[in-house]
Amino acid sequence: MEGLGLLSKLPVEQCPQFLHKVIDGICGRAYPRFQDHGNVWNLREWLQVLENTETFIKSVVGKDEPQKKLNYHLNGLTAEHQGAILTCIKSRKPEIRDALLQKVCAMSSSYLQDFDWQLKLAMSSDKLSTLQMPLVNLDLDILKNRTMTPISIEMNKEELQNLINSLEAANKVLYSFITFFSVIFFGCFFNVDVTVDSEYGCSIHFVLHIVK
C-alpha cells in the first residue's frame, strides 16, 4: 500500500485526528476533507493516502492480520507514526468491525436480524385422535428497509429436512459469491451453518464470520 507511506508527510501529532476521521467515514459519518490537509498532500496524493488508509484499516480489523504483515505495510513510517496508527485502530476496533458487518448485511435489501426455534409434539388433529407428530416452530425476524417483519413457520420432520437441504444448497452458492466480494471489500463473509442435533431437532445458525 504505497499510499500509507505518504502518512509520513503528516506530523505525528496530527495523525490521530486524520485517522479518526477516516474511521468515522468507514462507520458511516463524514470523511476527512482535502481542504483541511491541502498543505500536506496534493490532490493526487490525497486520494491515494485516503484510499490506502481506509483499505488498511478495514484489512487490519476485518482480516485480523498478523503483526508481521502489519509491519510490512507500515514499513517506511517512523515508529511514532506506526504507533499512532495502530493505537487509533485498536481504540475503535469494535466500532469498525460492527460497521463492516452492517455493510455486508446491507448488500441485500432484506436480511435475517434474529431467529428462534422450538420443538413440540402434536398429540392429535381434527382427523386423528392420537397423532404424536414432532413439529418445529421456526420464528424469523426479517429486516427490510428498517422495518422488522416477523415470520413464523411450522414444519414436520419431512418439511424440516427439505428446509435444511435448501439451506445447504443455498449456502454453497452464497459462500462462493459473498466470500469473494466481501473479503475484497470488507474482510468478512456470511455463512449458513445447519446442524441436526437429534432425530427430531436441529439448530440453524446464520453467522457473520471474520476472515483470518
Least confident of 58-62, 68-72, 103-107: 103-107
Same domain, 114 and 98: no
Could you tell me whether strands 133-144 and 202-210 are parallel, antiparallel, or unpaired per DSSP bridges? unpaired
Look at residue 159 in the predicted model and tell me its pLDDT: 84
Same domain, 150 and 58: no
Same domain, 91 and 29: yes
Name the domain boundary from 87, 104, 121. Answer: 104
Query: Cα separation of 37 and 19, whole Å?
Result: 12
Same domain, 87 and 118: no
Look at residue 2 in the predicted model and tell me its pLDDT: 64
Domain extent, residue 188, equals 109-210
At residue 182 the predicted structure's pLDDT band, cuts being 50, 70 and 90, is low
Average pLDDT over residues 98-107: 75
Amino acid symbol at 103: K
- Altogether, the residues listed in the chain come to a count of 212
Name the domain boundary from 104, 126, 150. Answer: 104
Same domain, 11 and 66: yes
Q: Which residues, 6+ apart, have CB-to-CB distance to 1 below 8 Å?
A: 52, 55, 56, 73
Residue 188 in contact with residue 182, Cβ under 8 Å? yes
Name the domain boundary from 55, 70, 104. Answer: 104
Same domain, 134 and 63: no
Look at residue 122 in the predicted model and tell me its pLDDT: 66
At residue 98 the predicted structure's pLDDT band, cuts being 50, 70 and 90, is confident
Same domain, 140 and 198: yes
User: Could you read off the pLDDT of 131-156 as tens digits, one per residue?
Assistant: 567 888 888 888 777 788 888 888 88
Same domain, 139 and 167: yes
Look at residue 200 in the predicted model and tell me its pLDDT: 41
Same domain, 136 and 192: yes
Q: Which residues, 6+ apart, have CB-to-CB distance to 57 below 8 Å?
A: 19, 22, 23, 26, 89, 96
For the whole model, what pTM was predicted?
A: 0.53
Same domain, 113 and 205: yes
The structural domain count of the chain equals: 2
Average pLDDT over residues 24-44: 91
Residue 210 in contact with residue 64, Cβ under 8 Å? yes
* Average pLDDT across the chain, whole number: 77
Same domain, 6 and 100: yes
At residue 186 the predicted structure's pLDDT band, cuts being 50, 70 and 90, is very low
Same domain, 88 and 163: no
